[in-house]
A and B are shown apart, each in its own frame.
Chain A
Amino acid sequence: MHTVLVFAAIALAVLATSFISGILGMAGGMILMGLLLALMPVPAAMMLHGVTQMAANGWRAWLWRREVDWRVFRGTALGALVVLAAFSLLQLAGSRPVAYLVLGITPFASYLLPEGLKLNVDRRGHSFACGVVCTVLSLLSGVSGPLLDVFFLPSHMDRRGVVATKAASQTFGHLVKIVYFGVLLSTERGSVEWWFAAAMVGLAVAGTSLSRRVLESMTDRNFRVWTRRTVSVVGLFYLFNGAWVLAHA
């Protein structure tokens, strides 16, 4: 019975967060990761999050595949593979409070970066650095979106190129996460039933479709205005949550 309840809670979380993500355009992945961490062991949470997010990003990357900047993608993929090799060698796996802490810090990490760095995937070596930094974050907390945007948004690629290349890079990043926690991490390997993962992907698609209907009927401008604060509020919540658990461990 307990397992059924956990499965139901996870299903509800996937549906709700894909709905939120579809409307706000942000925070869905972060909220989902936090909920999964609360409901499952870290490796399993990482895997399930990876599967649902890989499906969403993979579909977007496939639709826009002609717009992908493969030079940038190669850089981010190479960076991701280097980090994957390092993590595999060291068998690093963060605990739940550490995952919450990193998850909470991630949205604010962009503020900590010096202005002079001028991060931009257009610049030589920056796509590789982007792959390294984002994969470290992804393997520790499950998400890396806020920092990925710092590298991609200032790019002079056209908008389709940015969306497509970001989606391709994120698809690869989630694949790396799944491979690490499902195959390479020998100490506490995660596993997710294939039928359950498939059902969650279906629910994520349903949540996004539902959000489209709401978007079509939405008239309140203020509804869009406050959404940018969502990520910061969610980040702060995770930060305090992680710190609290660590302090009382």
Chain B
Amino acid sequence: MQATSRNPADALTLQLLEWIDERPHTYAEALDTWRTSCPRLSIWEDACIEGLIDCDAGGGKIVRVSAKGRAVLGSRGSAAPGGRSG
């Protein structure tokens, strides 16, 4: 499940999950960082639809990797090229 064999969107999804997993991010921060107006590369939106991300209901709206997202992260191979997260 290495990102090298995936399409660019899959590699970017991994990168998004790693970015979220790295440290707590607010919903607004995630939106700022992953915003796109390209319908072909709607990485954030697709991850939400697939249930890879959870969002706290409380104040601050912290986004987290969901159990399903964690499974995706866990099944990835060694260092993905898209894995250099900020």
Which A positions have Cβ atoms within 8 angstroms of B? 22, 25-27, 29-30, 60, 67, 107-108, 110-111, 143, 145-147, 149-150, 153-154, 156-163, 212, 215-216, 218-219, 221, 224-225, 227-229, 231-232, 235
Residues of A within 8 A of B28 (CB): 212, 215-216
Q: Chain B residue with minimal CB distance to A25?
A: B35
B44 to chain A, nearest CB (A): 7
User: Contacts A150-B40, A159-B19; is A26 near B35 (CB within 8 Å)?
Assistant: yes
Query: Is A225's CB under 8 angstroms from B45's CB?
Result: yes
Contact indicator per residue, chain B 34-73, by CB within 8 Å of chain A (1) or not (0): 1111111111111011000001010111000000000000
- Majority-rule SS of B interface residues: helix
Excluding A111-B40, A157-B84, A158-B84, 4 further A-B contacts by CB distance (< 8 Å) are: A107-B39, A108-B39, A229-B39, A231-B39
Is B37 within 8 A of A107, CB to CB? Answer: yes
List the B side residues contacting A29 at CB < 8 Å.
37
Report A117 CB to chain B, min CB distance, Å. 11
Q: Interface readout for B1-23 with A: 1 if CB under 8 Å, 0 if not?
A: 00000001001100100010000
What's the nearest-Cβ distance from chain A to residue B34, in Å? 7
Chain B residues near A145 (CB, 8 Å)? 36-38
Q: Name the residue on A nearest B32 (C-beta).
A: A163
Task: Determine the residue in chain B with the shortest Cβ distance to A151.
Answer: B38
What's the minimum C-beta distance from A51 to chain B, rounded to whole angstroms? Answer: 19
Q: Is B42's CB under 8 angstroms from A228's CB?
A: yes
- What would be 18 A-B contacts, judged by CB atoms less than 8 Å apart? A25-B32, A26-B37, A110-B40, A143-B37, A145-B37, A149-B37, A149-B38, A153-B8, A159-B15, A159-B19, A218-B61, A224-B45, A224-B55, A228-B39, A228-B42, A228-B45, A228-B46, A231-B39
Among A27, A30, A161, A228: residue with most chain B CB under 10 A: A228
* Shortest Cβ gap from B17 to chain A (Å): 12
**Contact, CB under 8 Å: B37 / A146:** yes
| B18 (CB) vs chain A CBs: closest residue | A159
Per the bound structure, the CA–CA distance linking A154 and B38 in Å amounts to 12
Q: Known A154-B8, A227-B45; judge A159-B33 contact (CB<8 A).
A: yes
A163-B33, A216-B59 as given contacts; A158 in contact with B86, CB under 8 Å: yes
- Report the nearest B residue to A119, measured CB to CB: B8
Taking the nearest CB of chain A, how far is it from the CB of B56, in angstroms? 10
Q: How far is the CA of A192 from the CA of B40 in the complex (A)?
A: 35
Q: Is B24 part of the binding interface, using a Cβ–Cβ cutoff of 8 Å?
A: no
With A215-B28, A216-B60, A218-B61 already in contact, the answer to whether A153 and B36 are too (CB < 8 A) is yes
Residues of B within 8 A of A216 (CB): 28, 59-61
